[in-house]
Amino acid sequence: MPSDTRLVCEQFPRASQYHPEWVLASVSGGANSLWLTEWLTTVLELRPGMRVLDLSCGRAASSIFLQREFGVQVWATDLWFSASENLQRIRDAGVEASVFPIHSDARSLPFAAEFFDAIVSIDSFFYYGTDDLYLPYLARFVKPGGCVAIAGAAMLREVEGSPPEHLRAWWEQDQPWCLHSAGWWRRHWERTGILDIELADTMPDGWQRWLDWLKVVAPANEVEIKALEADRGDYFGYVRVVGRRQSRVALFDPVVSVPSQYTKQPLLRDQQ
């Protein structure tokens, strides 16, 4: 057992091997990306040499984890965080030959169709994936039979109407309407007809892991901490969803421009 027990969790033995200072220096969001990545990979079949898109990877901690733990090649793609900084972190981790930092918007990815064996997204998909048109766009980049998998903060059940009283202070601060339940994500993906949904579930005591992380990385965030303590997993926790691209469904390139040629016409009827 290490002398510094911060971020050590029996639920995540792989992630617990990483130095807490390295993990904290790699913070890019409101969750422990290594915990969520480990939880997600327990239901994925990742083999050495596979090509994986780590979508919205933040500071690439999850990308480094994926390469070190499973021997995959990872395209560490993010819009908000510097690809140059990520490259330094990747080099220091000794995985430069297999982890490739990319600066890109999730809605404008620079990859060939069917390039990846798997696409993962850790605690970020809710920023863009609730768009009804996004999954058909994203699924083009994974091979038929390949998987799309997400894990992150979520509602455990949908809020109907106004937020509950014990969550209102947090709601006024962060407006977490983009967070949804496992059932919501299952329906959202199923109706496209693109993926076979293999799993949509919640992390046992996920709210407690969320709280554990906040108390280490953001102890001054009293609004969120108090909301989680009051909620105790009634509404908030973590979900993961895994879908596999159907081979029989053809996907089409998105329309990015419409060719046109201007032809002058009379503006008003009496100008004919």
**Confidence at residue 272, expressed as pLDDT on a 0 to 100 scale:** 67
CA distance 158 to 238: 13
CA distance 54 to 240: 15
Q: Which residue has the higher pLDDT, 2 or 160?
A: 160
Say whether pLDDT at 2 is over 60: no
Check residue 158 and report its DSSP letter. Answer: P
Give the pLDDT mean for 212-226. Answer: 94
Do strands 142-155 and 116-122 pair parallel, antiparallel, or not at all (unpaired)? parallel
Q: What mean pLDDT is reported for the chain?
A: 94
* pLDDT level of residue 149 (50, 70, 90 thresholds): very high
Give the pLDDT mean for 128-133. Answer: 95
The shares of helix, strand and coil residues in the chain, as percent rounded to the nearest 5, are 35, 20, 45
**Confidence at residue 248, expressed as pLDDT on a 0 to 100 scale:** 87
Question: What would the pLDDT profile of 14-28 be if each residue is shown by its tens digit?
Answer: 999 999 999 999 998
Do strands 236-245 and 142-155 pair parallel, antiparallel, or not at all (unpaired)? antiparallel
User: Could you give the percent of the chain with pLDDT greater than 70?
Assistant: 99
CA distance 129 to 97: 30
Question: What would the pLDDT profile of 81-118 be if each residue is shown by its tens digit?
Answer: 999 999 999 999 999 999 999 999 999 999 999 999 99
**Confidence at residue 206, expressed as pLDDT on a 0 to 100 scale:** 96
Give the pLDDT mean for 132-148. Answer: 96
CA distance 22 to 251: 40
**Domains identified in the chain and CATH numbers:** 15-271 (3.40.50.150)
Asked if 201 contacts 215 with a C-beta cutoff of 8 angstroms, the reply is: no
CA distance 262 to 155: 49
**Confidence at residue 1, expressed as pLDDT on a 0 to 100 scale:** 53
